[in-house]
Amino acid sequence: MNFDQIAALAVLAAVIAALVHGRLRADVVALTGAAVLLMLGVVRPVEVQGAFASPAVIALAGLFVIAYAIEISGLLAWLIRKAQGLTRVLGSQAIWLVIAVCGSVGGFLNNTPVVVLAAPVVRDMATALDLSPKRFLMPLSYVVVLGGLLTLIGTSTNLLVNDMARNAGQPVFGLFDITGVGLVIALSGGLYLYFVGARQLDRPARFEEVMIRRRKLAEARAQRVDTKPRSNWLSGFFRFGEGRSTPDGSGDGVLGDVDLYEQGADRPLRVPQAAASITVFLGVILVAALGIAPIAAAAFAGAVLLILCRVITADEAYAGLRPEILLLIAGMVVVGMAIEVTGLAAAGATGLIDVIRPLGPFGALIIFYGVTLFATELLSNATVAVLITPVAVALAESLGVDPRPFLVAVMMAASAAFATPFGYQTNVLVFQMAGYSYMDFVRVGVPLNLVTWAAAMVAIPIFFPF
């Protein structure tokens, strides 16, 4: 190994160790790694500049602003609150209908605000029916995450994989290219949660404990209301990263504050702002879907249009940018570039090929998905995307097949990992709200991983033949 390869590998190991340790913010870790690589000459300034100006970063920045405009307009909260009226007609099925709608919304909006707004509604609907909220809140989080698999903009992981594949010379994915695969996986996971997973969570004894905890929390908030001013509910969840949260609240995430649920669900509807925001958002989707402009250009233009039309102020737009996610992605792209330009990705692919070559492309896809899924349970989805995407391209080229099935596998597996309560910030939010145990997530999440893995192995070769 030459100096550049040793340096890139050392920085990568240090970044992973810091992310697993969780005491430092993920964006700070990624930027530190990028800075070290730049100072050592492993990557050039022009490559770092390209990472910070990549289409994935631009697209996410624009989409964050548009989504923030929709959130502060009160539209999403209003729609979810209206669903409460269905309880009188449909009973518990109304709760599942709300969960399904939230999953669909998760294909276009960041999953955290969707869960923050929907969680109190789902909880209250369950309580009104004398059902345990535990039976529904974990499925809510999981279904919204599964909804992120439906479109290219459903999660930052999809955009990041697409961006890195473009850097490797591969054709980019369209907005709805992955929808077929994502729909099969989401439906399979949803059916498992409805018929099997949720039933394992319905424990009346634990429900009584949750009710006691809720009353104590309400009493504590009432006691401090005159001495501790409430912060805006959005300031809490906007500190989360797109991917993972740390167990103790340090690093790139914090344990969910119950205040977030109550304040978020009560946001009033502002009709003019809501109408303008959703119109711009649908316009961005249409422009990107028809191929009139790339998603990065469409999202950027949509965000600027909202400011020019005074639907959202410039200060509000900056507040919605979520720089911690944008900088995390840019920093991890630089680390990924180092792995690729030094030849480490090709070397890793060669070693992997030696092991799975006898299995053929489909066998390689099964193992590759499993490796990505396992890595995502331990690392952030952005880290996994950066590490695995170059290997996916090199592996497919070495096997003489189209890389797109392997790239889609990275998108799906890097997001569809459910075995821990700290895999996603939405899991952390419901973890505290419903009083789940760690093993609740293991008991429901591990089978869900297996179900979605099997569904992906059926769907990917159909929609993306080798």
117-172 residue pLDDT tens: 788 788 888 888 888 899 999 999 999 999 999 999 888 889 889 988 888 888 98
Model confidence over 283-302: pLDDT tens digits?
Answer: 988 888 888 888 889 989 99
Give the pLDDT mean for 295-315.
Answer: 92
First-to-final CA distance of the chain = 33
The pLDDT score that the predictor gives to residue 263 is 52
Q: What percent of the chain has pLDDT over 90?
A: 29
Q: Which amino acid is at 75?
A: L
DSSP state of 195: I
Interacting residues of 239 by C-beta distance below 8 A, sequence separation 6+ = 253, 254, 324
pLDDT band at 458 (very low <50, low <70, confident <90, very high): very high
Any idea which of 230-239, 263-272, 300-309, 311-320 has the lowest mean pLDDT? Answer: 230-239
CB 328 within 8 A of CB 241: yes
Both tokens of residue 292?
């009139």
What is this structure's pTM? 0.72
Any idea which of 220-224, 262-266, 334-338, 450-454 has the lowest mean pLDDT? Answer: 220-224
Interacting residues of 130 by C-beta distance below 8 A, sequence separation 6+ = none
CA distance 384 to 380: 6
C-beta pairs of 321-324 under 8 Å, 24+ apart in sequence: 321/61, 321/64, 321/65, 322/64, 322/238, 323/27, 324/25, 324/26, 324/27, 324/239, 324/241, 324/252
CA distance 307 to 302: 9
DSSP state of 68: H
CB 5 within 8 A of CB 42: no
Q: Average pLDDT of the chain?
A: 80
pLDDT band at 223 (very low <50, low <70, confident <90, very high): low
CB 31 within 8 A of CB 369: no
> How many Å separate Cα 317 from the centre of its chain?
21
The pLDDT score that the predictor gives to residue 64 is 83
The pLDDT score that the predictor gives to residue 187 is 96
DSSP state of 169: T
pLDDT band at 208 (very low <50, low <70, confident <90, very high): very low
CB 370 within 8 A of CB 91: no
CA distance 415 to 111: 12
Give the pLDDT mean for 349-354.
Answer: 75
Both tokens of residue 144?
């919204």
CA distance 385 to 160: 7
Give the pLDDT mean for 74-90.
Answer: 75
CA distance 284 to 56: 15
pLDDT over 60 at 317, yes or no: yes
Give the pLDDT mean for 338-364.
Answer: 80
pLDDT band at 266 (very low <50, low <70, confident <90, very high): low
| Angle between helix 295-308 and helix 55-72 axes, rounded to 10 deg | 40
CB 424 within 8 A of CB 244: yes
DSSP state of 23: S
**In which element (H, E) is residue 45 found?**
helix 45-52
The pLDDT score that the predictor gives to residue 219 is 52
pLDDT band at 405 (very low <50, low <70, confident <90, very high): very high
Q: Which residue has the tokens 């990568």?
A: 12
The pLDDT score that the predictor gives to residue 464 is 96
- What range does the domain containing 391 cover? 3-463
302 against 26, higher pLDDT: 302
Model confidence over 391-400: pLDDT tens digits?
Answer: 888 888 888 8
Q: What percent of the chain has pLDDT over 70?
A: 83
Q: Which amino acid is at 272?
A: P
pLDDT band at 107 (very low <50, low <70, confident <90, very high): confident
CB 157 within 8 A of CB 381: yes
Model confidence over 413-439: pLDDT tens digits?
Answer: 998 879 877 667 678 778 777 878 878
pLDDT over 50 at 213, yes or no: yes
pLDDT over 60 at 204, yes or no: no
Instruction: Report the largest interatomic distance among the alpha carbons of the chain, rounded to a whole angstrom.
Output: 69
DSSP state of 268: P
For 248, phi then psi, to 5°, come to -100, 10
Domain count, the chain: 1
CB 143 within 8 A of CB 189: yes
Model confidence over 173-188: pLDDT tens digits?
Answer: 988 999 999 999 999 9
